[in-house]
DNA sequence: AAACCCACATGAATTGAATTCACCTATAAG
DNA sequence: CTTATAGGTGAATTCAATTCATGTGGGTTT
């Protein structure tokens, strides 16, 4: 015979035990005293245990009843409390993303509003730093990293971004200024902006343009890609950077690629997460959205 | 608006959370998966909190859902356990009575069956000793004491037994033997049995019979009333004891009172209990019954 | 590509547990 | 003696819980 514990009857019992009164229990439970009486009788009949001595106009717990009440009182209090808290709980999931400052600044932040509108029940927390993140030990769902792939702890899933194209970029004013930039040779008249963390630098670029004589020991140097891009926007020189990171500036015309959009490809960014959590909707949704956006950007 | 926590819905949620499956939860709860789905939806709608992400053919707890499940899981487990134990609980109250060995042996034990048949849901535990009992510290409901009243701790209720009559008693054979006993003077031919804890002894008796010359330094001595009575039953002599304690022997003719049933009265026994527990049915029932029996014995 | 599997969702209909209602009993208090 | 009141009982009623029939949508198999 299949039975579930008679929760409603136990609830009535617990209230009567706590208040030593069927009538008061009925008040608390918003029912009639008769309902309480029935439920407790049902409980006693089902388990063959007398839970209350019926004294005139009163009830007194039996020893069995007292012990049982002590156990279930705490349990019901806990359910009540947790359920009350539920009505006050945040109504969303939190997604914690860690990324390099440049990717965070240049690419992710300008697009986060798009992800949020597609996933209104997910709050994104974005941490930007160059620190190494331990996905297991820290409450980080996704870590977007840049640089040579390193060995990861077992259980880490590493997805590679599509290849980035690295090209020289500068402000439109510089391109069309006193020393217009039309060919690689035109670069000798301009300051080179070096992005020191970029996997592809001017030295690599020159390997593909051997006819060009640039003094790559000269120029401005930054250890943050977004700063190199910012300097280029300000007309300080020509930077060699990722089309991906400069997408917004190119679209708004603050930067141009005077020598075209073709250049060396590099796979610098990886998307890191724990396999065990890969299918959580908030994580999976973010991943799908991000790689979708990356595809759109390279089309 | 008056609401009680939706216990059935929470129960369905807890099972689904624990099993990560509506279908498995339905199995465990002996309902259809549809019922589980409805209950969880009801819970989410009522509190405006999404508890599960619906993934194709699966469900994954949200952060809120996980936290809630952790709280209510423990509570439901506790209710289950306590309720299962309830089916195995003793079905009665325990009444613990402490009394002097003589009262326990002579009066109480022969009558306990009567109390039990009137109160089948009360199990009586009878402790007989001369030890002093601390009603507060020990699990003793009632303490029946003999002797001078002593100061009791606050909160102790002391009820006095009706007065006992103390008379000489002996076996019928002794009364009708070679030295028949008809008058107090006839006692000089017989051995006196002394009950050393009795509040009234042969010396007190002789104060009321000054014409009688008994050598009260002679005879048998016992420090238990029930032993003195037993010696008298065996024809070893004449004892001076309480009619109350000898009631059964007198009724069965094993003892007789050759000089009649009139004698010194003494109030030796008291009924001691805690005021705070005086109205517990098991205690009140025992008290009422005992004093009723005492009245019958003195009629 | 089509068919099948299967897990959750939905709305209307049905069921059965919970509750009410009407009346009873039994003390205690006035 | 009358009144108040707290729990008890059984039949009738209510309504929360559940079922039933159908839908949706990925993933797998043929």
Contact B53 A281 (CB under 8 A): yes
Residues 236-265 of B with CB under 8 A from A: none
State the average pLDDT over residues A4-29: 91
Q: Facing residues of B107 across strands?
A: none
On the question of pLDDT at B14 being above 90, the answer is: yes
Please name the residue of chain B whose CA is at the shortest distance from the CA of residue A80.
B5
Q: 3-state class of B228 per DSSP? A: helix
Of B240, B234, B236, B233, residue with least CA distance to B184: B240
Instruction: Return d(Cα B231, Cα B237) in angstroms, integer.
Output: 7
Contact B89 A29 (CB under 8 A): no
Q: Facing residues of B39 across strands?
A: none
pLDDT of residue B92: 55
How distant is C1' of D17 from CA of A141, in Å?
Answer: 39
Of A123, A132, A119, residue with least CA distance to A96: A123
Instruction: Return d(Cα B184, Cα B192) in angstroms, integer.
Output: 12
Do residues A251 and A130 make contact, with C-beta atoms less than 8 angstroms apart? Answer: no
Measured at the CA of B83, the angle between CA B14 and CA A14, to 5 degrees, comes to: 85
**Least confident segment among A266-275, B121-130, B178-187, B210-219:** B121-130
pLDDT of residue A151: 66
Measured at the CA of B39, the angle between CA B35 and CA B40, to 5 degrees, comes to: 120
> In Å, how far is A225's CA from the nearest CA of chain B?
36
pLDDT of residue A154: 66
Instruction: Return d(Cα B222, Cα B231) in angstroms, integer.
Output: 9
Instruction: Return d(Cα A131, Cα A109) in angstroms, integer.
Output: 19
On the question of pLDDT at A39 being above 90, the answer is: yes
pLDDT of residue B292: 85
How distant is C1' of C2 from CA of A297, in Å?
Answer: 36
On the question of pLDDT at B37 being above 90, the answer is: yes
What are the DSSP calls for A167-204, one per residue?
EEEB-HHHHTSSS---SGGGGGGS-EEEETT-SS-HHH
Mean of the per-residue pLDDT values of chain A: 84
Instruction: Return d(Cα B145, Cα B74) in angstroms, integer.
Output: 48
Whether B155 has its CB under 8 Å from any CB of chain A: the answer is no
How distant is C1' of C24 from CA of A258, in Å?
Answer: 101
pLDDT band of residue B241 (cuts 50, 70, 90) is very high
pLDDT band of residue B76 (cuts 50, 70, 90) is very high
pLDDT band of residue A90 (cuts 50, 70, 90) is low
Measured at the CA of B175, the angle between CA B173 and CA B181, to 5 degrees, comes to: 160
Write out the two tokens for B216: 């009260």
Whether A1 has its CB under 8 Å from any CB of chain B: the answer is no
Write out the two tokens for A232: 């280029």
Give CB contacts under 8 A, 24+ apart, made by A22-26: A22/A59
Contact A121 B50 (CB under 8 A): yes
**B241 CA to centre of own chain:** 27
Instruction: Return d(Cα A271, Cα A143) in angstroms, integer.
Output: 6
Task: Please provide the size of chain A in residues.
Answer: 299
How do residues A262-289 score in pLDDT, each as one tens digit? 888 888 888 888 776 777 778 888 888 8
pLDDT of residue B257: 92
How do residues A165-222 score in pLDDT, each as one tens digit? 899 999 998 999 888 999 888 898 888 888 877 788 888 888 888 888 888 877 788 7
Instruction: Return d(Cα A139, Cα B19) in angstroms, integer.
Output: 25
State the average pLDDT over residues B263-278: 82
On the question of pLDDT at A293 being above 90, the answer is: no
pLDDT of residue B258: 92
Secondary structure E strands in chain B: 52-55, 58-61, 93-99, 122-128, 142-146, 156-160, 164-169, 192-195, 220-222, 238-242, 265-266, 269-274
Residues 84-103 of A with CB under 8 A from B: 85-87, 89-91, 93-94
pLDDT band of residue A15 (cuts 50, 70, 90) is very high
A182 contacts: CB under 8 Å, gap ≥ 6: A258
Do residues A256 and A250 make contact, with C-beta atoms less than 8 angstroms apart? Answer: yes
Contact B72 A78 (CB under 8 A): yes
Instruction: Return d(Cα A17, Cα A20) in angstroms, integer.
Output: 5
pLDDT of residue A1: 38
Burial class (CB in 10 A: 0-12, 13-18, 19+), A3: exposed
On the question of pLDDT at B118 being above 50, the answer is: yes
State the average pLDDT over residues A86-98: 70
Write out the two tokens for A59: 């009830």
Residue that is written with structure tokens 């009440």 in the block: A69
pLDDT of residue B254: 87
On the question of pLDDT at A152 being above 50, the answer is: yes
Strands A265-266 and A164-169 come out as antiparallel
What are the DSSP calls for A4-52, one per residue?
---HHHHHHHHHHHHHT-HHHHHHHHTS-HHHHHHHHHHHHHHHT---E
Instruction: Return d(Cα A145, Cα A154) in angstroms, integer.
Output: 17
Contact A4 B11 (CB under 8 A): yes
pLDDT of residue B256: 92
Burial class (CB in 10 A: 0-12, 13-18, 19+), B295: exposed
Who has greater pLDDT, B17 or B216?
B17
On the question of pLDDT at A82 being above 80, the answer is: yes
State the average pLDDT over residues A94-105: 84
On the question of pLDDT at B289 being above 50, the answer is: yes
pLDDT of residue B212: 84
Q: Facing residues of B55 across strands?
A: B58
Nearest to B78 among A4, A67, A71 (CB): A71
| Complex ipTM over 0.90 | no
Q: Return the number of other C-beta atoms located less than 10 Å from residue A23's C-beta.
A: 15
pLDDT band of residue B7 (cuts 50, 70, 90) is very high
Whether B75 has its CB under 8 Å from any CB of chain A: the answer is yes
Domains of chain B, each with CATH number or no CATH: 7-86 (1.10.10.10), 93-162+267-297 (3.40.190.10), 164-265 (3.40.190.10)
Mean of the per-residue pLDDT values of chain B: 84
Q: Is the dihedral of CA B176, B178, B180, B184 positive or negative?
A: negative
Give CB contacts under 8 A, 24+ apart, made by A74-79: A74/B75, A74/B78, A75/B74, A75/B75, A75/B76, A75/B78, A75/B79, A75/B82, A76/A10, A76/A11, A76/A14, A76/B75, A76/B79, A78/B71, A78/B72, A78/B74, A78/B75, A79/B5, A79/B7, A79/B10, A79/B71, A79/B72, A79/B75, A79/B76
- On chain A, the residues whose CB falls within 8 A of the CB of B87 are 47-49
- Please provide residue A168's backbone torsions phi and psi, each rounded to the nearest 5 degrees: -70, 140
A285 contacts: CB under 8 Å, gap ≥ 6: A118, A119, A122
On the question of pLDDT at A114 being above 70, the answer is: yes
Do residues B63 and A93 make contact, with C-beta atoms less than 8 angstroms apart? Answer: yes
Write out the two tokens for B20: 């990560």
How do residues A17-37 score in pLDDT, each as one tens digit? 988 899 999 988 999 999 999
Q: Is the dihedral of CA B33, B36, B41, B44 positive or negative?
A: negative
**Least confident segment among A123-127, A148-152, B142-146:** A148-152
């Amino acid at each position: 015979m299949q039975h579930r514990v008679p929760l409603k009857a136990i609830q009535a019992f617990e209230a009567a035990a706590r208040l030593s009164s069927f009538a008061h229990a009925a008040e608390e439970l918003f029912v009639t005293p008769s309902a309480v009486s029935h439920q407790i009788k049902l409980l006693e009949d089902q388990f063959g245990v007398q839970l209350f001595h019926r004294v005139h106009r009163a009830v007194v717990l039996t020893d069995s009843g007292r012990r049982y009440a002590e156990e279930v009182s705490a349990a019901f209090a806990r359910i009540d409390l947790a359920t009350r808290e539920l009505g006050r709980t945040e109504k969303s999931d939190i997604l914690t993303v860690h990324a390099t400052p440049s990717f965070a600044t240049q690419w992710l932040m300008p697009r986060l509003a798009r992800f949020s509108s597609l996933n209104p029940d997910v709050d994104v927390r974005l941490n930007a730093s160059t620190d190494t993140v331990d996905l297991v030990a820290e409450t980080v769902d996704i870590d977007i990293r840049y640089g040579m792939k390193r060995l990861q702890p077992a259980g880490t899933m590493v997805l590679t971004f599509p290849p980035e194209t690295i090209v020289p970029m500068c402000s439109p004013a510089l391109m069309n200024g006193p020393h217009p930039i039309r060919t690689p040779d035109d670069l000798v008249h301009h300051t080179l902006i070096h992005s020191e963390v970029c996997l592809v630098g001017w030295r690599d670029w020159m390997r593909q343009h051997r006819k060009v004589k640039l003094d790559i020991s000269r120029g401005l140097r930054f250890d943050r890609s977004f700063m190199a891009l910012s300097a280029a926007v300000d007309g300080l020189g020509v930077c060699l950077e990722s089309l991906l990171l400069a997408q917004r500036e190119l679209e708004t015309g603050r930067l141009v690629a005077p020598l075209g959009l073709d250049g060396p490809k590099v796979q610098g960014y990886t998307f890191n997460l724990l396999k065990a959590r890969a299918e959580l909707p908030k994580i999976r949704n973010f991943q799908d959205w991000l790689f979708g956006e990356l595809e759109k950007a390279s089309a």
